[in-house]
């Protein structure tokens, strides 16, 4: 199986294993490299990276990296461009509490009646729009109050994670970039144990890394256009 090097690099970035099309994917695996390549060709690597952020790093969504979910999330990112532009990290946070697996189960019941991709996009779009105020505006207000009391958490390039702290988007991006750099220097499978040993919560770390990837993807898109 010949894999586009862009697809290979993107899957490696998110620790997603590409498997044969005849095998059933486990969490952290995909058998849809051709779909990822088509998304890259049509919308660019920054867009595809954001799609992978949602599916590979959203809590509980790692087993859903298939053709339907990839195209549906791609469509959703474009349909919710205003939400992504306002706060890409907030958009990604929505998927930590979004029942994507349950939505896919409902979509499977519609097989043969409507196209699964469009059905899933419609359900996700409604969910994102309903949660937008609570997941973005509410968090921003709480974060603003905490910033006044706590100030910045970044000290001399080492990410700091105080329990219950609310970070600014800039802090998340800076911490995420540090973590991405650290992960790139480690062997596969050692990053999770390193986080645990360092006292860094995996969920908080992934949130920061997603914010950094989203910010860098937006920067790349701005340069390209």
- How high is the mean pLDDT in each 10-residue block of the chain (225 residues)? 90 89 83 96 93 79 79 94 82 78 83 89 87 56 48 43 61 86 79 77 80 70 34
Q: What angle do CA 123, 18, 100 make, to 5 degrees?
A: 15
Domains identified in the chain, total number: 1
Domain range for 203: 5-224
pLDDT value at position 59? 64
pLDDT at 207: 81
So what's the pLDDT on residue 214? 82
The secondary structure of the chain as a DSSP string is ----HHHHHHHHHTTPEE--TTSPPPTTEES-HHHHHHHHHHH-HHHHHHHHHHHHHSTT-TT--SHHHHHHHHHHHHHTHHHHHH-HHHHHHHTTS--HHHHHHHHHHTTTTS-HHHHHHHHHHHHHHHHHIIIIIHHHHHHHHHHHHH----BTTB----TT----HHHHHHHHHHHHHHHHTS-TT-HHHHHHHHT--HHHHHHHHHHHHHHHHHHHHHHH-
**pTM to 2 decimal places:** 0.62
pLDDT (0 to 100) of residue 142: 54
Tell me what pLDDT residue 42 has.
Answer: 96
Q: Return d(Cα 11, Cα 72) in angstroms, integer.
A: 18
């Amino acid at each position: 199986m010949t894999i586009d090097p862009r697809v290979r690099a993107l899957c490696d970035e998110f620790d997603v294993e590409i498997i044969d099309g005849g095998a059933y994917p486990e969490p952290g695996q995909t058998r849809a490299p051709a779909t990822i390549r088509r998304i890259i060709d049509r919308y660019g690597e920054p867009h595809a990276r954001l799609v992978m952020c949602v599916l590979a790093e959203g809590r509980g969504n790692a087993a859903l990296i298939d053709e339907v979910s990839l195209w549906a999330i791609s469509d959703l990112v474009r349909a919710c461009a205003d939400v992504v532009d306002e706060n890409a990290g907030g958009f990604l946070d929505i998927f930590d509490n979004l029942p994507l697996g349950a939505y896919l189960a409902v979509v499977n019941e519609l097989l043969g009646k409507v196209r699964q991709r469009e059905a899933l996009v419609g359900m996700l779009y409604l969910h994102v729009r309903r949660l937008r105020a609570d997941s973005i505006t509410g968090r921003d207000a709480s974060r603003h109050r905490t910033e006044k009391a706590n100030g910045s958490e970044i000290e001399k390039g080492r990410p700091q994670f105080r329990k219950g702290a609310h970070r600014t988007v800039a802090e998340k991006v800076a911490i995420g970039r540090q973590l991405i750099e650290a992960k790139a220097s480690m062997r596969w499978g050692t990053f999770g144990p390193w986080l645990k040993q360092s006292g860094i919560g995996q969920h908080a770390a992934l949130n920061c890394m997603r914010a950094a990837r989203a910010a860098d993807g937006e920067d790349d898109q701005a340069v390209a256009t």
